[in-house]
Amino acid sequence: MTVLVTGAGGFIGGHLVDRLLETGAGVRAVDVKPLDDWYQVHESAENIVADCSDPVDAHKVADGTDEIYNLAADMGGMGFIENNKAECMLSVLTSTNMLVAARDAGTKRFFYSSSACVYNGEKQTDPNVTALAEADAYPGDPEDGYGWEKLFSERMARHFREDFGIETRVARYHNVYGPLGTFDGGREKAPAALSRKVAEVAMGHTDGIEIWGDGEQTRSFMYIDDCVRGTMEILAGEAVEPVNLGSAELVTINEMVDILEGIAGVKVERSYNLDAPQGVRGRNSDNTLFHQTYGWEPSISLKEGLEKTYAWIYDQLKARA
């Protein structure tokens, strides 16, 4: 079996390639970034630098594949999403061209990585949010830019299944985090950003940290190992509609800082930037459908995942110093 992973040089893609290789699959790993900029490069994979938003490149990398995991997208944390709406929307070129290429190549199964940003914003205005079930994506009012592209591409995957017989599967990721990913530069997400800030305090570089918003906004965060397992099971499974893939452990941003303080053994001074991008007020994953379908749900606790994430980021900062 030949399995293609687009976005393989990214955080989730690198971990997914590693797991697929462990299963014995032949993996074609593709990313637009130069190999030196990939987070993980696996020698036993077929590593290709290509632009999947280009129809010629998309067809070349899809040729001869049995399965495709399409993770390629221009995205980052909330700061990037809110300030680069057009760039996020342009990911529709990758979504479109990879589906067309998969159809033309006769690829049997196609996975699309969507996001919890597709959910209706009116259902996410309270920190004590009711967990979002799959039906809450409609009527459509997703995150501007990034969320609209994801919701549109979900529908496109559905119609390619209906019209062309490709077994498309869609997961709505909820805030994936872990080691071997972005932790600075503007595209990092909250767990990595806060781990870096607390590590800098622990190393004596600064006394305090800045928190975007008042810190009382709520989210759930899924550790990368749960994400990879769920991704592979969703593609292999028979459920055809989009499904949540996330942890149901709801925390405030302030509570996540509390956890990181305990891991690092420090107390940090907190300042709050109320003008910074912070997204919706509350968001959590309703895992009812996922659990009914696959018999488990993401369960690695935030504390356990942050211990591993913080340790890796701390080591990276120490090595730089």
Q: How far apart are CA 105 and CA 97, in angstroms?
A: 12
Cβ atoms 119, 144 nearer than 8 A: no
Contact 187, 77 (CB under 8 A): yes
What CA–CA distance (Å, rounded) separates 278 from 83?
12
Residue 213: left if φ>0, alpha if ψ -120 to 50, beta else—which one?
left
138 annotated active-site: no
Per-residue CA distances from 39 to 19, 76, 180 (Å): 15, 15, 6
Residue with tokens 């209706």: 120
Decide if 165 contacts 235 (C-beta within 8 A): no
Q: Which residues pair with 29 in a beta bridge?
A: 5, 47
For 238, counting Cβ atoms within 10 Å of its Cβ (0-12 exposed, 13-18 middle, 19+ buried), the class is exposed
Rounded-to-integer distance, Cα 215 and Cα 257, Å: 9
Q: Which of 146, 177, 223, 314 is catalytic?
A: 146
Instruction: Please give the positions annotated as active site.
Output: 146
